[in-house]
Amino acid sequence: MHLRRSLYEGYKTAHNKLFSVKNTSDFQATGRLTPKEFVEAGDELIQKNPVWQWVGGPDHVQDYLPDDKKCLVYRGAPCAERAPVAQTDAPVETVDEDGFVVTEAPKAALPTTAVEEEKVLNWDDEDSASDDEDVVTTTPDSSSNLRVYDVYIVYDKYYETPRMYLVGYASDHVTPLTTDQMKQDVYCSNYGKTVTIDPHPVLSIPCISIHPCRHAETMCSLMCRMQQYYENEKGEEARRNPFIFPAHLALLLFLKFISTVLPTIQYDISSGFDLI
């Protein structure tokens, strides 16, 4: 399995070096983006949801993208529950028509983290002892299941689509999770198939990665459903004004469908944008 994966990754690397990037705009027909469209879609995502930010990188990494726009990041996406490991505990899972395992998981209420009450310094030595006694401190609940993830969206040159990477931390957003801990947040039916642990292409750190081999096909299928709904609703008007899905909204569409793959990590905040 590891040999097969190594050969596959080697082939992709060689392909990316030998072939130039996509420059034909045909997102609605193919579900694929050019690097220019990826940047425009990233700018649109940031405008609509400012929690997302661009991340820069060395000019030799993904040299077809601007130095200050190598990938997008949403820092601190909450993950309040571990993925079930026993079949009896697992929520309902289905395989959609595009081949993704879709899981319905409840949105858990996020625990609040207690903080130390601010201490006011008193320069009077006589009062310092009593002041210390008045300080009330609270400590975070060590039993809390809360973890946080930094969610990255990267342009994948080989598949010509967005690709998602997630880096996990403990609730302090400082202590990194091990790969085994990150696996606990992935449903068994997805891990090793649509979800793997891979190095980040810009940061070179281990991440949860959602494999993009069906991303273009899935987004194209979703746009076809939207078009059918639009034509059924508009009737004759749809002939005069045909359905066009703008490429600059591609990442909103991407986040909507990809959120079903890792439902325990709450990174889809694209309100007001629903799939048909």
Residue ranges of the domains in the chain?
24-83+144-261
Please, are residues 236 and 248 in contact by the beta-carbon 8 Å criterion?
no
pLDDT at 98: 46
Please, are residues 243 and 222 in contact by the beta-carbon 8 Å criterion?
no
**Helices (H) and strands (E) in the chain — how many of each?**
8, 8
Could you tell me the two tokens for 163?
A: 């690709």
pLDDT at 100: 47
Catalytic residues: 213
pLDDT at 189: 76
User: For the domain bounded by 24-83+144-261, which CATH number is listed?
Assistant: 3.30.1460
Cβ-based neighbours of 10, under 8 Å, separated by 6 or more: none
10-residue mean pLDDT series, the chain (276 residues): 64 71 91 96 94 92 93 95 65 47 45 37 40 45 77 95 95 93 84 83 87 92 93 92 94 87 78 59
pLDDT at 270: 61
In whole angstroms, give the CA distance from residue 246 to residue 196. 30
